[in-house]
């Protein structure tokens, strides 16, 4: 008997000898499944190693609709191993966060790990029915192995969150923009890539996102309900940006512009055309003044306004007076 066989047999015997007369083992499977829903992805995997009963419960499809790997940062190598081992067609939501390698850039900033073609490939193949993808702290530009175009991501997503990520922008050197779909599909990218079903797009704290990149959004995902540009300080008060927002006048309901450089004119145009807005965030926008309060009052469907105190207090007072 080989060493590996003996180790496997020992493990099986150990599992068989586990005392299973405790109260928890007397619970119906439905109750155990309900309890397991409160465990994180990592905890579910640990629980699966306790005994055969727990393993059967732990690998129920209902527990794998959401995979959240953001409690700690994992290297790309570890994530690839995870995706290969825990492939689940039932998974609809995936959340990952990059593990900084400790190196610093010239600006003394922590270098983000690359979002590689290998990582992208295993996400697409291991979770073919993915609808909600959260990617945090990844670099899509500098490394030679990095995916430099959005077409490497899974297609037919409903929500895409790119938080604190670095992406390519169109430059005078002719660099192709991350959000621009190339005419000829890139090697290793998703075939027949489409984001027409996308309803939520977030670039929160992805500071490299600029005006040129934003202009590709309407063609990329024309049916947006939510657009989050919080922390994208390169977004400035230009006609190009305003026109981009107004192209969603039939669908957009939630708009987040915190810390961008929009001004009163931008907000005026938003209030005039985006009549379906229910949430608007204009906190820390230094070029927005309380002169836009009159315009904000015309948004009859607005349920939540996030703004600096000077604006919000007077807005709420005026709104109460109108009632």
Instruction: Let me know: does 195 contact 158? Beta carbons within 8 Å.
Output: no
Q: Of 13-17, 109-113, 251-255, give the lowest mean pLDDT range.
A: 13-17
pLDDT attached to residue 172: 41
Q: How far is CA 187 from the centre of its chain?
A: 24
Instruction: Let me know: does 94 contact 77? Beta carbons within 8 Å.
Output: no
Highest mean pLDDT among 3-17, 20-34, 37-51, 178-192: 37-51
Q: How far apart are CA 150 and CA 178, in angstroms?
A: 6
pLDDT attached to residue 7: 60
Instruction: Let me know: does 104 contact 110? Beta carbons within 8 Å.
Output: yes
Q: How far apart are CA 257 and CA 202, in angstroms?
A: 11
Higher pLDDT, 315 or 212: 315
Would the pLDDT of 15 be above 60? no
pLDDT in tens, 37-56: 999 999 999 988 888 888 88
Instruction: Let me know: does 295 contact 272? Beta carbons within 8 Å.
Output: yes
pLDDT attached to residue 170: 52
pLDDT attached to residue 148: 80
Would the pLDDT of 1 be above 80? no
**Calculated CA dihedral for residues 59, 64, 65, 68, nearest 10 degrees:** 170
Instruction: Let me know: does 120 contact 160? Beta carbons within 8 Å.
Output: no
| pLDDT average, residue stretch 142-154 | 80
* Domain residue ranges of the chain, discontinuous segments joined by +: 1-63, 65-197, 225-323
pLDDT attached to residue 248: 95
Would the pLDDT of 213 be above 60? yes
Burial 263-282 (b: 16+ CB within 10 A, else e): bbebbbbbbebbebbeebbb
User: pTM here?
Assistant: 0.86
- Band (pLDDT 50/70/90 cuts) for residue 142 is low
pLDDT in tens, 168-208: 665 444 456 788 887 777 777 777 788 899 999 999 998 77
Q: In residues, how long is the chain?
A: 323
Higher pLDDT, 106 or 76: 76
pLDDT attached to residue 246: 94
Sign of the dihedral defined by the CA atoms of residues 179, 180, 183, 187, in that order: negative
pLDDT in tens, 270-311: 999 999 999 999 999 999 999 999 999 999 999 999 999 999
How many helices (H) and strands (E) would you count in the chain? 12, 9
Q: Is 115 left (phi over 0), alpha (psi -120 to 50) or beta?
A: beta
What is the CA angle 179-191-137, rounded to 5?
45
- Band (pLDDT 50/70/90 cuts) for residue 12 is low
- Band (pLDDT 50/70/90 cuts) for residue 317 is very high
- Band (pLDDT 50/70/90 cuts) for residue 62 is very high
Q: How far apart are CA 220 and CA 212, in angstroms?
A: 14
Instruction: Let me know: does 120 contact 145? Beta carbons within 8 Å.
Output: no
pLDDT in tens, 96-130: 998 776 455 555 567 888 899 899 999 999 999 99
Higher pLDDT, 180 or 266: 266
pLDDT attached to residue 11: 58
For the chain, percent of residues with pLDDT exceeding 90: 54
Sign of the dihedral defined by the CA atoms of residues 266, 272, 276, 277, in that order: positive
Q: Which of 52, 91, 46 is nearest to 71 (CA)?
A: 46
């Amino acid at each position: 008997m080989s060493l590996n066989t003996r180790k496997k047999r020992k493990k099986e015997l150990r599992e068989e000898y586990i005392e299973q007369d405790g109260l928890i083992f007397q619970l119906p499977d439905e109750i155990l499944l309900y309890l397991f829903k409160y465990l994180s992805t990592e905890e579910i995997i640990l629980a699966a190693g306790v005994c055969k009963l727990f393993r059967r419960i732990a690998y129920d499809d209902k527990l794998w609709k959401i995979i959240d790997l953001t409690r700690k940062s994992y290297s790309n190598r570890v994530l690839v191993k995870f995706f290969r081992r825990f492939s689940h067609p039932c998974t609809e939501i995936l959340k990952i966060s990059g593990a900084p390698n400790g190196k610093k850039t010239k600006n003394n900033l922590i270098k983000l790990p690359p979002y590689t073609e290998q990582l992208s490939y295993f996400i697409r193949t291991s979770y073919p029915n993915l609808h909600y993808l959260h990617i945090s702290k990844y670099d899509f530009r500098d490394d030679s192995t990095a995916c430099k175009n959005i077409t490497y991501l899974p297609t037919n997503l409903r929500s895409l969150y790119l938080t604190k990520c670095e992406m390519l922008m169109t430059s005078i050197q002719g660099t192709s923009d991350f959000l621009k779909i190339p005419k000829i599909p890139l090697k290793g990218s998703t075939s027949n890539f489409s984001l027409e079903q996308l309803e939520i797009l977030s670039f929160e704290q992805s500071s490299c996102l600029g005006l040129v990149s934003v202009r590709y959004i309407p063609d990329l995902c024309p049916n947006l309900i939510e657009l989050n540009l919080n922390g994208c300080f390169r977004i400035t008060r230009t006609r190009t940006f305003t026109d981009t927002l107004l192209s969603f006048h039939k669908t957009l309901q939630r708009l987040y512009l915190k810390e961008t450089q929009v001004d009163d004119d931008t907000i005026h145009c938003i209030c005039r055309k985006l009549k379906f807005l229910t949430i608007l965030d204009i906190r820390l926008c230094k070029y927005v003044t309380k002169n836009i309060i009159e315009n904000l009052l015309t948004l009859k469907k607005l349920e939540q306004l996030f703004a600096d105190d000077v604006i919000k207090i007077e807005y709420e007072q005026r709104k109460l007076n109108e009632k």
